[in-house]
């Protein structure tokens, strides 16, 4: 039976028509993760120590497991296992969680940003909020895990949309100040100025400021930044998310 979602095609690179944007980057990253031996060894280790992941040898196997089970409790146990692994420092587990939830998250973004040229910006924000939600997931919550993850992410997403604090995620990372739509260029310039203010006020560490500049102003992908820094792309996105929250808290103070 063919995969139900494009996000379940663990070995299929994005098409030529999908060369840009966050979803394209996530698809490319996912294929790489599923075809990397060190990653396979990590997942095999998880499966050896967690019966709910028995038989899994790569990240895609875990996603397939969440899709194939019809038992709500079994699915909750799989997701809870990933959350515990993530909260114990296993960044890869967070990336697997994100992949499992991407169909629901992208569906909501499509509804919210229907017809908007800023759909990719909205997706950046939604993913950033998801990372925050799984970071703070309450241990006492053991039922309807997927529903909680989706609804809490949407809650955080709408709350951030209501705030007036500047957000780097709203910058069109495919744009430059010159030769673009004036509104896009203005957003880029505002982000550049905001980053200068954050450096001067020591809102971010130098490493955080450099990473934000690389991702949102020099247009590095999280894969490129991860390769340069020697960290996983999901860690890059988490650090950007944390830095964005610092900026918003400072700007709203």
CA distance 63 to 65: 5
Q: Which SS3 state, helix, strand or coil, does residue 116 take? A: coil
Residue ranges, CATH 1.10.10.10, the chain: 180-252
- For the entire predicted model, the pTM comes to 0.70
Q: What is the pLDDT of residues 183-226, one digit of tens each?
A: 555 566 677 788 888 888 888 888 888 888 888 777 787 778 88
Question: Which pLDDT score is estimated for 177?
Answer: 46
CATH 1.10.10.10 fits 180-252, yes or no: yes
Answer yes or no: are the C-beta atoms of 58 and 40 closer than 8 Å. yes
Q: What angle do CA 58, 123, 186 make, to 5 degrees?
A: 140
- 3-class DSSP state of 88: coil
pLDDT digits (tens, 9 = 90+) for 123-165: 888 888 899 899 999 989 999 999 999 999 998 888 766 553 4
User: Distance between CA atoms of 69 and 36, rounded to whole angstroms?
Assistant: 26
Q: Lowest mean pLDDT: which of 49-63, 77-91, 134-148, 188-202? A: 188-202
* Alpha-carbon gap, residue 93 to 46, rounded angstroms: 10
């Amino acid at each position: 039976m063919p995969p139900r979602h494009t996000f379940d095609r663990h070995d299929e690179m994005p098409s030529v028509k999908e060369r840009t944007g966050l979803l394209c980057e996530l698809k490319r990253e996912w294929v790489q993760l599923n075809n990397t031996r060190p990653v396979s060894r990590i997942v095999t280790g998880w499966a050896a120590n967690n019966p709910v992941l028995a038989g899994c040898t790569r990240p895609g196997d875990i996603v397939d497991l969440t899709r194939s089970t019809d038992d709500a409790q079994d699915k909750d146990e799989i997701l809870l296992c990933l959350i515990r692994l993530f909260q114990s420092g296993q960044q890869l587990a967070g990336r697997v969680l994100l992949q499992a939830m991407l169909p629901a998250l992208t569906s909501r973004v499509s509804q919210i940003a229907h017809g908007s040229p800023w759909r990719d910006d909205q997706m950046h924000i939604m993913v950033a909020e998801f990372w925050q939600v799984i970071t703070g997931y309450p241990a006492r919550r053991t039922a309807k895990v997927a529903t909680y993850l989706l609804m809490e992410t949407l809650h955080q997403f709408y709350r951030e949309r209501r705030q007036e604090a500047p957000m780097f995620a709203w910058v069109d990372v495919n744009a430059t100040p010159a030769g673009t739509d004036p509104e896009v260029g203005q957003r880029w310039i505002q982000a550049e100025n905001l980053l200068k203010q954050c450096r001067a006020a020591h809102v971010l560490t130098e490493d955080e400021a450099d990473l934000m500049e690389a991702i949102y102003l020099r247009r590095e992908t999280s894969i490129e930044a991860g390769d340069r820094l020697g960290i996983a792309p999901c860690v890059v996105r988490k650090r950007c998310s944390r830095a964005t929250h610092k900026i918003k808290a400072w700007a709203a103070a």
